[in-house]
Structure 1
Amino acid sequence: MQTVTATIDRTFTIGETDRRLFGAFVEHLGRCVYGGLYEPGHPSADAKGFRTDVLDLVRELAPTTMRYPGGNFVSGYNWEDGVGPVEKRPRRLDLAWMSTETNAFGTNEFIDWCRAAGIEPMLAVNLGTRDGEAARRLVEYCNFPGGTELSDLRRDHGWPEPHDVKFWCLGNEMDGPWQMETKTAVEYGRIATEAAKLMRWVDPSIELAACGSSARTMPTFGEWEDTVLEHTFEHVEFISLHTYLNDYAGDTAAFLASPDLMDSFIDEVVAIADAVAARRRSSKRIMLSFDEWNVWYRTRRKSEGRTKLGWPVAPNILEEVYTMKDALAFGGACISLLNHADRVRSACLAQLVNAIAPIMTETGGPAWRQTIFHPFAHFSNFGRGQVLRANLVSPTYAATYYDPRGTADLTFPLPAVPYAKLAAVHDEAGRAVTLFVLNRHLDQPMPIQIDARGFGDLELVEALEMRHDDLSATNTKEAPDRVRPAPLAGVRVDGGRVVATLAPASWNVIRLVASE
């Protein structure tokens, strides 16, 4: 392969990463909560029932925010069911995942878990089967100091101090026919506006995200965003995006190209949001919350992988086992998010434990890292700072990505996919420069030369690669470290020039420190 070149300059930036860019997602889905992060009686469980082995891995993964309680689950959730004495909480049928919800874990337990993990909570309200009044009551229960029925109820439940939750999602995927109480864009725009008004009247300090399209492939994509923002523009700070990358066609080259469609999705939603602002002659800019993203396809299309018969409690559903190939596409998605740091200010990896997750557990047994754990940990731990605008010159290839929706067979031609996908982040306080580079060529090593200007001399701190001769390799309970990062040899740094050779089908992180 010809040498890939990239030029970055300290003064040419895309934007600074918001700490909320590195979030994740916990839903009452399968074993994400029960048997995942919460398992009283587990050998590692603390006094509150939280698995400390999972907490240790979460701290290593380093998510900054956590979305809860859904997802599809929230569109039928009564938040009151999950507070108060556990023995008095009702058992409910959860129509989202055809399970029985015990409500042993609810809002207060989630807040306590976030505090234990050092994570900012991010709550979603039910705008499916409920309305703005239920939403504003939850805000009062969580955030009002005391002296009212609901704030005093929280205090009576054992949480005297307000939870002070700042980020709230106005429902979930309300355009989806799979959602409880699906709504048209006008119907959702109206209820979201009224909920936002009431919630903010209780606590003016909160920030709100309206539901965007459930996917770029939805038939109403574009029109939905335009209509919803026409209603909610003055009341929200964010609009959401959701994407799950797939390899349904078994075309690895196209799968590794699919993160580039995230770039297009982001650019299109930004354009729509700014068009709504332009119609209003408004200088306000709506930011993007990419609050569901991941690789997901094996357990997605087969109904037996999505639900279990008999309304079980915490069934083992959506437990995607990730491969080396999945980790590469996942790393590409991390790069896409970094390279839109100016407008994507919040994002949530879906989900955290067991269900389409970077962390797997055995109920009563160990916890381990899936392959996708490692790119996210690199992204979160080393992606803080100013994202630099890179001038990348790379050979390209053509691919066609397949993404079915219902009975529709949707294909997306990608005529010129760069073999290299790159993001560069400068942490000025720590003088660090981190390069995230994906080599999407399946057979050839990639010589790469990066010219970094305006930093003075650079010194190599660490270079890591993640690759495997078998792209279908996975991590398991028996072999939890089969796929993991290893040192990347042969990286040379000369002044502001970085030279390396990247293995075929590899995820690479090169960490540098600047002299000035």
Structure 2
Amino acid sequence: MAQEVTANKARLVVDDAFEVAPVNNRLFGSFVEHLGRCVYTGIYEPGHPTADEDGFRQDVIDLVRELGATTIRYPGGNFMSGYRWEDGVGPKGQRPRRLDLAWHSTETNEFGLHEMVKWLDKCGGNELMEAANLGTRGLQEALDLLEYSNIPGGTALSEQRRANGADKPFDIRMWCLGNEMDGPWQIGHKSAEDYGTLAASVAAGMRMMDPDLELVVCGSSSHEMDTFGRWEETVLEKTYEAVNFISCHAYYFPALKEDGTRDMGSFLASGVDMDGFINDVAAAIDATKARLKSKHEVYISFDEWNVWYQHDEPSRNPEGIGNWPVAPRLLEDLYSVADAVVFGDLMITLLKNADRVHAASLAQLVNVIAPIMTEPNGPAWRQTTFYPFAVTAEYAKGGTVLEPKLASGTYDTAKYGEVPVVNSVAVRGADGTVSVFVVNRSLDAEQDFEIKLPEGLFAKTVTAQTLHDDDLLAKNTLDNQNRVVLHDNDTASLDGETGTAHVVLPPVSWTALHFA
């Protein structure tokens, strides 16, 4: 925009007349995979002091409700590409134990589809986003799972579901057609041509049974995949008319520099890469739509995103032919203040692209690179990343994203070049209030942030909450569960006559402002 800003000032103009898109509540989805302790001793732990009659931890249910998670993707993930859904239904004592090749673990199958549906109901009726195995399985198995789940009765599989305790169908509307099939690490990895052909066949078959399903086809599992772009074009060409979404997956962490320190400047600008990823995939969608002369719309499901230290010790799989543990501690990253600020920036980026991104799943929900941590037979607590998710979900659900007109200084990064110091988005709530979410990416400088509110918004109050700590590496741990929390930002002020607000943003911080 044409405004000028100084190095330590930024300005956001919020115009009620320019809308990006309504906020789809599926943007606040999450992800439960049979990986590490996400399920076992995470959401499910019979014998825990808070466990209910189904073995679900009530302390975790309470935190999931507080988090505001909506659609839950299940059961994977890499796990799903070798999963036989039949193993997780029926009497628990008769369910087989299987080797999980994806995470080198043993799956007991004590928790399966019925348990997941029941758990979601206890969390407040969250939507289930089911994934079909297109790694080791295909069309028939997907049709069997759909019949079992969605047909009311009168067939062998629907009657089996009823006999297993679910008289009413699960009515699952959103389905993933495989997972990360572009990745050589994936069980049943396929070329774009082979996967696109299979996905098109499965989609067509599923729609013959239930034509109103919402189907997600696999896009690239990373913006940096060698096949990125070509994969999207090939898969969309084969599946476009039969699917509703194409997936994006992205994880971020601060890379190690030659001197052994972390590249925090680039890390704090991770939202720049996510934004570019979304724009590139949107371009592939538009190109395919034009090429096919289609009137059909395909949106993006960003159904895996987070900060993840993929190469650090907690992410190393068990090894050895005789070492297949049950629910090992895997991918249990403890998140710092800096991680939470990046996390909040990624949420801002998803909102800014609400016209193209209609669903997103934070990976994952409990213990595994998650906002909620638990200790077996012990407490559950909030990670630093819990707070940006919960507050954004509270204020943005049901709202409308307003086109951001942001002026900010820039700084140089090794990975992304010149990037804005400040990133921000405004959302008009369903009740007419306005919320602004903003990050200061600067490592050392405060930012004086000015907000020009929409004409006619007679805001009387402003509340501001900031996540910041002088120690960028401060974390919440089992021994100190509330080391990092949100704080009221008492620098926030509002001039009702001019409709202008000001707040000071500390370096490396995430802030939410709410005007009522």
TM bucket normalised to smaller: over 0.9
Report the Cα distance in structure 2 between the residues aligned to 1:366 and 1:357, rounded to whole angstroms.
15
Aligned-pair CA distance for 1:379: 1.8
Give the corresponding residue for 2:91.
85
Q: Is 1:287 equivalent to 2:299 in the alignment?
A: yes
Name whichever of 299-308 and 373-382 sits farther off.
299-308
Structure 2 unaligned segments of length 5 or more: list them. Answer: 1-6, 257-261
Name the count of aligned residue pairs.
Answer: 499
> Aligned runs of 1:399-418 on 2, under 5 Å?
399-401=413-415, 414-418=416-420
Give 1:364 shift.
Answer: 0.8
Partner Cα separation in structure 1 for residue 389 and residue 318 of structure 2: 27
Output aligned runs, 1:182-197, within 5 Å.
182-197=189-204
Which residue in 2 is equivalent to 1:388? 402
Q: Which residue of 2 aligns with 1:219?
A: 226
TM-score w.r.t. the length of structure 2 is 0.95
Alpha-carbon displacement from aligned partner over 1:237-269 (angstroms, at most 9, x marks no partner) = 000000001112211111001111000000000
4+ residue runs of structure 1 moved beyond 6 angstroms?
A: none
Matches within 5 A, 1:31-430: 31-118=37-124, 119-249=126-256, 250-297=262-309, 299-302=310-313, 305-307=316-318, 309=320, 310-384=323-397, 385-401=399-415, 414-427=416-429, 429-430=430-431
Q: CA deviation at 1:326?
A: 0.4
- Residues 21-63 of structure 1, C-alpha deviation per residue, up to 9 Å, x if partnerless? 1000000000000010000110000000000000000000011
Contact 2:244 2:299 in 1 (8 A): yes
The offset of 1:460, in angstroms, is 2.2
What SS is found at the alignment partner of 2:426? strand
Q: What TM-score do you get using the length of structure 1 for normalisation?
A: 0.95
Instruction: Quote the residue 1:509 is aligned against.
Output: 512
Q: CA deviation at 1:325?
A: 0.8
After superposition, residues 426-465 of structure 1 pair within 5 angstroms as 426-427=428-429, 429-465=430-466
Q: State the distance in 1 between where 2:420 and 2:485 align.
A: 25
Q: Secondary structure at the match of 1:4?
A: strand
**CA RMSD between the two structures:** 1.1
Checking the alignment, whether the CA contact within 8 Å between 2:314 and 2:331 is kept in structure 1 is: no
Checking the alignment, whether the CA contact within 8 Å between 1:308 and 1:315 is kept in structure 2 is no
Distance 1:455 1:138, change over 3 A: farther
User: Secondary structure in 1 aligned to 2:93?
Assistant: helix
Equivalent-residue separation in structure 1 for 2:485 and 2:311 (angstroms): 26
Question: Structure 1, residues 434-463: CA drift from partner, whole Å, max 9, x if none?
Answer: 000101111111101111223332122421
Q: Deviations over 1:300-358 (max 9, x none)?
A: 35587333551000000111111111001111100000000001000000000011111
Cα deviation, residue 417, structure 1: 0.9
Distance 1:304 1:242, change over 3 A: closer
Counterparts of 2:277 and 2:99, CA distance in 1: 35
Unaligned runs of 5+ in 1: 402-413
Identical residues among aligned pairs (%): 50
- Report if the CA contact (8 A) 1:7-1:390 is conserved: yes
**Aligned-partner SS, 2:176:** strand
Question: SS of the counterpart of 1:233?
Answer: helix
Partner of 2:259: none
CA contact (8 A) 1:308 1:317 kept: no
